[in-house]
Every structure is written in C-alpha cells, then in structure tokens.
Copies of this chain bind each other. A is one copy, B any other.
C-alpha cells in the first residue's frame, strides 16, 4: 500500500468557503444554522433548481442536411395504440370476472383542479377508457383557486370510500398547491399513479416491489417488452428527471438491468451521452430537442414528450409533437414510438391496469 508515502500531497479541508453554488445553497438554509455549522452539505430541497432547457444553445443546432445518416427510414414504428388495444380487452375481461365472482368492480376517483384544457382532455380520455373496460370512475372538479385543505379533504374522502380503489389527482396543479402534500395524504393502497415516496423508494430498491409503478414509465417498459426489445445489459439514457416520468423510468430501467444514465438541463453536451444509448427515453417537454445527430444508429427511441404546437391546419388549432425530431430519428433508430400514438395510449392502459390491481388487492381477489 502506498497510502503512507502519498500522504504528503493532501487535500486540505476547505475551511474558508464552499464553491459558489454551494454558498448559494447555504444562504437559502441559514435558518438551519446549527446543522450547517457541522456539515457543509446543503439541504436537498435547497438544491432543487428548475430544469430549464435552453433551446437556443449550441446543443439545439439543426444538423446539416444529410449529415452522416441515410435518407431511408431505418426505424420500425412502435404502435402504442395497437399494443394498448391488445391490453385493454384483457383488463375488461378481468373486471367482468371480478364482478361475476364477488360482485365488485374497480373504482377510480379522478380529481381535476382548474380548467387547463390539456388536463381536461387527459381526464376525459381516462374516463372514457375506464368506461370501456367496466371500471367505475368519478371526476371531482375543483376551482383553480381552491384551497389546499379543500383538495386534501377531497383526497381524504376517497381514501375512506370503499368503492374507490384508485385515486388520481391530475397534474400539473396550480402553483399554490403542494403536490408533495397530496402524495403524503393519498392512501398508499390507492396511489395508482405511483407517486407516493414509498412507491418510488420500493421501485428504486432491489428486493422490494412497489404497490404501483407510475403509469407512463410502466407503459414505456411494457412497450419495449412487447416489441421484443431486450433491456438487460443495454445502455439506456433517460432525458429528463421529473418525479412522475424521468425518475421512475430510470429506476425501472435499472431494475431491468440496463446501464442507465440520466440527462437533464444541467448536463453539459447531452448529445455526447445520448449518442451512446441503445435505448433512449425522453420526457422533457421540448419539441424537437432530440435531433438525428443525438442518436446512435440502431437506437430504440421512446418519446414521452407530448408538446402541443399551434397549427391552424388542424381542427383543434394545434398538433402534438414529441421531444424527438421524428423525421430525423426515423432514419437513424431501429425502432421509435410516434407522438401521438406511442406512449400516450399505454399510459392510460397502465392506469386501468393499476386500478384493477388496486381493486383486486383491496378485495383479496386473485
């Protein structure tokens, strides 16, 4: 061991001041003065900077026409609509079997706060999907300016309602409402969105099983498996680290033994990392963030982004685009999910599956 002889070159503990960014964090935690005297590590919440992607940075330059890629389509398009269409009848069949056997049907309570048009659309689609498979659903609409207590009371009432097996609070919430508090109050056994920290912790930890896996990441993995795409041993890159998609997607890929890297807004040169990916999942909310030159030939691309883009030629005035430049990616990837028609239908199918699971668990029905 050379440790002894090397001890002359030591890092002297940094007594005077921490690097700039940590000093910034300290200023936000001065109320916790005693703790910060002992450790220099800041509180984690004080580190929570928003992931703002810079669309005009050099990372987002349009590649030169042609580039290194052929003009031919190389990618198979993974049809999420078709795969979800395969899954839903099986859920409906299980719902019928449950009703015939024990006279109970799964119940889903959806809480919608405010009048965001996209949220209204998502909720409507979920309700229709419930109806189609025989899940009883209710929607509670609260005004945009409702108090936190009103929202928490709504959740609490469904927690104790035995006809409700799953509770879903449609996100995003208005700024004044704390999504963390909602998760804390929402019954773990009814957390069909899988956002409760216990479910996230159990998703992350080997040897453990969450009661529910968040619907969108679960849908992504189901898409990969049903498309015959191997995950184990593959390099997977997740772009985005939101609590509801990016984080659980990265944890789930790791449970499937992928080697996972997470790219976010503080990543320098993200394309360098994404170009190593065998499997790429994007969940950022930036149309065309991922260009063809971000991709390794043969990569499998799962595009969670669902970005409305104004388009007067469409009946509703907008069209949906993913985070990935589809026209370029389809010439590089081996498989890709389209937007719309890729991950979206799977998210809803997984919500139905989670609600069915919740009801089966509540009634010990197997």
Contact = CB atoms under 8 A, between A and B. Distances in A.
Interface of A: 1-3, 6-7, 9-11, 13-15, 18-19, 21-22, 32, 34-35, 37-41, 43-45, 47-49, 73, 75-79, 82-83, 86-87, 90-91, 94, 179-180, 196-210, 213, 218, 221-222, 225-230, 232-233, 235, 241, 243, 247, 251-252, 254-257, 259-264, 266-268, 273, 319, 321, 326-327, 330, 335, 338-341, 353, 356-357, 360, 366
17 contacts: A1-B326, A3-B340, A6-B330, A9-B75, A10-B77, A10-B79, A11-B77, A13-B83, A19-B225, A34-B360, A44-B208, A48-B206, A199-B201, A201-B204, A204-B204, A233-B268, A261-B261
A179 B207 contact: yes
Contacts of A78: 10-11
B257 A13 contact: no
A338 B6 contact: yes
Given A40-B225, A235-B268, 9 more contacts: A11-B227, A18-B225, A37-B90, A45-B207, A45-B209, A197-B204, A198-B201, A200-B201, A259-B261
A210 B49 CA distance: 17
A94 B38 contact: yes
Query: Which of A41, A83, A179 has the most chain B CB atoms closer than 10 A to its own CB?
Result: A41
Contacts of A200: 200-201, 204-205
A243 B205 contact: yes
B204 A247 contact: yes
A208 B45 contact: yes
Contacts of A252: 44
Listed residue (A9, A34, A222) with the most chain B CB atoms within 10 angstroms of its CB: A34
Contact of A73 (B9, B209, B255, B268): B9
A206 B255 contact: no
A171 B356 CA distance: 38
A77 to B, nearest CB: 5
A254 B97 CA distance: 45
Given A45-B208, A257-B266, A227 B13 contact: yes
A293 to B, nearest CB: 18
